[in-house]
Structure 1
Amino acid sequence: MEPKAHHVIIGLFTLAAVAAALGFALWLGKSSADREWAWYEIGFDQAVTGLSQGNPVLYSGVEVGNVVNLRLDPDDPSHVRVLVRVDEKIPIRENTSVGLVLANITGSMSVQFSGGTPDSPRLQGDRGDPPLIMAEPSAFTSLLTNGEQLLKKADRLLTNANALFSDQNTDNLTTILANTREATDGLMARRDELVALLARMSAAAARAEEAAIKVSRVSDNANALLQNHGREVLESMDQALNTIQTTVARIDQLTRRNEGALDAGLQGMGELAPALRELRSTLRNLNQFTRRLEANPAGTLWGGGSIKEISQ
């Protein structure tokens, strides 16, 4: 009798548990059916990976509804339109922001409302004509997008690196390193000559510096000379030029005043030329007579021939 009684008790307990579960489910369904909903359409300009029908809708982290439907924008398939329902008691206003948040570590996403001020008008949404609210890019979505771009760039970098380290480039790099080693060994073998060359270059640089200093001093002296005496020299030259100009003006004035006398004088000098020639001939004959007289005074005075004129 005892085993049968135990089976009866277990059966009754099981039926009671099932009935309680059904009752809770009916109560929960009735509660959901009795709730009044406000409907909104969320516009996403990026992918909504991880978001699916039935996912929760949150307001500042508190669940206030769920996702009803997802569809692509017929005008632009890159945009997604998500229909959500929210408890009508929750005020969704014009300045309320909306975006995606990570629901769990499996990658499931939830729609989350946040913000909104009491002075902003409230959006009234019904299922037939839900108001459109554009979503803001979420940090997680931006991270995924940037991560994909980063992976693409990393893959491209690895591909370029593989191309860079091809067999031909590796051989070229080996040759370059070998040539560099040979050049380094050659330089090390002639290290003493390089040191001497550097010493000579250092000495030449020192001499060049000294020459530059001297040139700078000469330039400074010339600059000082020009500053101190250049003005006086220029003033003296200016005075001399003024004097020359005055003298030239006077000579020009004198020439104009005595133009007739100068012309007569020049004409007289032209007539004087024959007389000067005759005088030169007479002086030449007199010179010859004097020489003869010195050589033979008696013959010249008493018995000499007549004096002949020698033409030049």
Structure 2
Amino acid sequence: MEPRAHHIIIGLFTIVVTAAALVFALWLGKSATDRDWAWYEIGFDHAVSGLSEGNPVQYSGVEVGDVVDLYLDPEDPSHVRALIRVDENVKIREDARAGLVLANITGSMSIRFQGGTADSPVIEGNRENPPLIMAEPSVLNSILDNGEALVSKADRLMTNANTLFSEQNSENLTAILHNTRVATEALMAHGGDIERLMERMNAASVRAEQAAAEVTGFADNADRFLKNQGQETFTALNTAIASIQTTATRIELLTANNEGSLNEGLQGLGELTPALRELRSTLRNLNHFTRRLEDNPASVIWDRGTIQEAPQ
């Protein structure tokens, strides 16, 4: 009798638990049905592998709805449309961005909204005419879409790497490393000579700098001499030449005015003609020296040679 009572109690407990579970499920279903939704259509211009009906819709990481339906765009089969429903209390604004995110490691995808400012208009969504929101391509989708190209590039890279490290190239690389080591050891062995060479080069550069300074000082002194004493020399030479020209003019006038007397006393004045010739030669030489001094004063002043006689 007692075992039969235990079985009745267990059966009643099972029936009560099952009924409670059914009531809870009906309550949840009624709650979900009574919930107010905003409906939107998300457009994708790329593949949506991993996205399926029932997958969650998130806003900044918080689940706010789910995917109701997936279908191809009738006008362009390369585009996919996803009908979603979002809690009506969540405001989707015009500057909000939609995209796909990886939901778990199995490859399941979720639709995620992010962004949106408070002053942007709200998109009103209804079941009969849901507004279209174009999704932005995600980095993960780009990687998946370009996976074949990446694999091909990786294969070419491995092929090129095998070619680069072929037996012949390995031997060449070994030879280059050996030569580099030999050159390094030679440089280290002659380190003292290289150091002394560098010291000599430094000393030579110092001497060159000193010589340049001396040349600069000499040029400055020559410039000051030409500006000061050279000008005085030009003035004195011009004065002497003018005086000589005046004297020569007077002598010529004197000779012309006393030509008769000179003819009579030609025997006594026989040396006057050579004197005049020498005077004219001296005047020509002075004129020649003055022209040289004006053209190149430095060469005339520092030249130790004597003044050459001007051609007759």
Q: Counterparts of 1:209-220 in structure 2 under 5 Å?
A: 209-220=205-216
Structure 1 residue runs without a partner (length 5+) = 262-312
Q: Counterparts of 1:46-195 in structure 2 under 5 Å?
A: 48-71=48-71, 80-136=80-136, 141=140, 158-181=158-181, 187=186, 191=189, 194=190
Partner SS state of residue 58, structure 1:
strand
Q: CA deviation at 1:41?
A: 1.9
Q: Which residue of 1 aligns with 2:12?
A: 12
TM-score when scaled to structure 1? 0.59
Which whole-Å CA distance do the structure 2 matches of 1:45 and 1:240 have between them?
101
Q: Deviations over 1:179-210 (max 9, x none)?
A: 4455566x38x94xx46754763464255235
Q: Which residue of 2 aligns with 1:303?
A: none
Q: Which residue of 1 aligns with 2:227?
A: 231
Q: CA deviation at 1:91?
A: 2.4
Structure 2 residue runs without a partner (length 5+) = 257-312
Which whole-Å CA distance do the structure 1 matches of 2:234 and 2:47 have between them?
90
Which whole-Å CA distance do the structure 2 matches of 1:61 and 1:213 have between them?
73
Instruction: Identify if the C-alpha distance between structure 1 residues 244 and 126 changes in structure 2 by more than 3 Å, giving closer, same or farther.
Output: farther
Which whole-Å CA distance do the structure 1 matches of 2:47 and 2:238 have between them?
95
Q: CA deviation at 1:66?
A: 0.4
Q: CA deviation at 1:57?
A: 1.6
Q: Which residue of 1 aligns with 2:260?
A: none
Q: Which residue of 1 aligns with 2:28?
A: 28
Which whole-Å CA distance do the structure 2 matches of 1:94 and 1:129 have between them?
17
Q: Which amino acid aligns with 1:39?
A: W
Q: Deviations over 1:47-91 (max 9, x none)?
A: 645432211123344432101233455777776543211123332
Which whole-Å CA distance do the structure 2 matches of 1:119 and 1:181 have between them?
70
Instruction: Identify if the C-alpha distance between structure 1 residues 217 and 62 changes in structure 2 by more than 3 Å, giving closer, same or farther.
Output: closer
TM-score when scaled to structure 2? 0.59
Alignment RMSD (CA, Å): 4.5
Q: Counterparts of 1:195-210 in structure 2 under 5 Å?
A: 197-198=193-194, 201-202=197-198, 204-205=200-201, 208-210=204-206
Count of paired positions: 248
Which whole-Å CA distance do the structure 2 matches of 1:116 and 1:199 have between them?
69
Q: Which residue of 2 aligns with 1:221?
A: 217
Q: Which residue of 2 aligns with 1:277?
A: none
Instruction: Identify if the C-alpha distance between structure 1 residues 236 and 82 changes in structure 2 by more than 3 Å, giving closer, same or farther.
Output: farther
Q: Deviations over 1:129-176 (max 9, x none)?
A: 3222234566x748967x979988777655543332221111222333
Identity of aligned residues (%): 54
Between stretches 164-173 and 119-128, larger displacement belongs to 119-128
Q: Deviations over 1:93-127 (max 9, x none)?
A: 22334344443454433323345445432211223
Higher Rg: 1
Instruction: Identify if the C-alpha distance between structure 1 residues 27 and 199 changes in structure 2 by more than 3 Å, giving closer, same or farther.
Output: closer
